[in-house]
């Protein structure tokens, strides 16, 4: 019996065997994860001393598998508004938990959930993060997101994610369907499947680093046109910064650009969540 290898296999194999710059032209997340240039651009996160003050880990049923997990920061009062956060390739680490508490504080009357797509695994070194991201089971990740959505019911749902999480922010907006009210993507890989984009039910805000070597502006322009054609707004903001510039754990963190981008994202979320 002969086995037919998928295109992603060849992309990954080329990166592993050649051990040189080979970032795939289609910006596939999992193939990109094992490319040397991409891995080298993500320096190990700086140490952090964080103790949650209002958030805590929760679990919820996931169809066809073990329970999913999320870091949950509740609104002070009962709310019909939700923000779902998605981590970078490092996993649901303390930086993301801190971001969850920060965004909840800034938004106020909103429940915030930072979803764990890695089922408890967290990387602190680029090689480990590369492995986790490249081996992420997309069906399992979809099931985790759907499991949380099932718990939320008919609430207003906005999403936000960084890098890999930016792409999952878009995916979760598609899964939320009519309950989705807005999607924020910090330098996430753009969706190219037209049939999937046509199911979009919410506006999208895209935060971009103009020095990003891994996400093509032409791909983002194409995404924006497709979103507009579906009848929704694609708001684009570019900053003179590198990939992952808004991550405080990144040694190349750009506080000025991140502050400006976060202000734009906050305004977008407030408007779309009806705050």
Q: pLDDT category, 43, cuts 50, 70, 90? A: confident
Q: For residues 235 and 209, what is the distance between their CA atoms, to the nearest angstrom?
A: 14
Percent of the chain scoring above 70 in pLDDT: 89
> Of all helices (H) and strands (E), which one includes residue 33?
helix 29-33
Q: Is the pLDDT of residue 34 over 90?
A: no
**Average pLDDT of span 74-102:** 97
- Domains (ranges, CATH) in the chain? 1-40 (no CATH), 48-273 (3.40.50.1820)
Instruction: For residue 156, report the phi and psi dihedrals to the nearest 5 degrees.
Output: -75, 130
- CB of 186 closer than 8 Å to CB of 261: yes
pLDDT at 31: 72
**Average pLDDT of span 188-202:** 96
Q: What is the mean pLDDT of the chain?
A: 89
Contacts of 137 (CB under 8 A, 6+ apart): none
pLDDT at 24: 41
Q: What is the pLDDT of residues 127-176, one digit of tens each?
A: 999 999 999 999 999 999 999 999 999 999 999 999 999 999 999 999 99
Q: Is the pLDDT of residue 82 over 50?
A: yes
Instruction: For residue 125, report the phi and psi dihedrals to the nearest 5 degrees.
Output: -125, 145
Contacts of 83 (CB under 8 A, 6+ apart): 103, 104, 107, 110, 111, 112, 113, 157, 158, 159, 160, 269, 273
**Average pLDDT of span 211-219:** 92
Q: Which residue, among 111, 47, 48, 100, has the nearest Cα to 76 in the 3D structure? A: 111
pLDDT at 204: 98
Q: Is the pLDDT of residue 81 over 70?
A: yes
Q: Which structure tokens are listed for 216?
A: 């093509």
Q: pLDDT category, 39, cuts 50, 70, 90? A: confident
**Average pLDDT of span 47-75:** 96
pLDDT at 18: 33
């Amino acid at each position: 019996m002969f086995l037919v290898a998928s295109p992603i296999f060849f992309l990954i194999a080329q990166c592993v065997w050649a051990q040189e710059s080979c970032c795939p032209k289609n910006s596939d997340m999992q193939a990109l994860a094992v490319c040397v240039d991409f891995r080298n651009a993500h320096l190990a996160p700086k140490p952090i001393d964080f103790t949650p003050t209002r958030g805590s880990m929760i679990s919820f049923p996931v169809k066809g598998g073990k329970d999913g997990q999320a870091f949950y920061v509740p609104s002070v009062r009962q709310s019909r508004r939700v923000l779902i956060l998605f981590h970078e390739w490092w996993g649901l680490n303390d930086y993301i938990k801190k971001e969850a508490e920060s965004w909840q504080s800034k938004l106020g009357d909103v429940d915030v959930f930072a979803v764990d797509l890695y089922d408890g695994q967290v990387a602190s070194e680029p090689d480990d993060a590369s492995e986790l991201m490249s081996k992420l089971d997309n069906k399992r990740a979809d099931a985790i997101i759907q499991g949380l959505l099932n718990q939320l019911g008919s609430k207003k749902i906005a999403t936000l994610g960084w890098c890999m999480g930016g792409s999952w922010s878009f995916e979760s907006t598609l899964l939320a369907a009519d309950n989705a009210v807005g999607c924020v993507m910090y330098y996430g890989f753009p969706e190219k499947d037209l049939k999937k984009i046509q199911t979009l039910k919410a506006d999208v805000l895209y935060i971009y680093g103009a020095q990003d070597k891994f996400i093509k502006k032409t791909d983002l322009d194409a995404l924006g046109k497709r979103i507009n054609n579906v009848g929704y707004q694609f708001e684009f903001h570019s900053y003179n910064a590198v990939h992952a510039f808004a991550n405080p754990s990144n040694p190349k963190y750009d506080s000025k650009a991140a502050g400006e981008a976060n202000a734009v994202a906050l305004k977008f979320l407030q408007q779309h969540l009806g705050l």
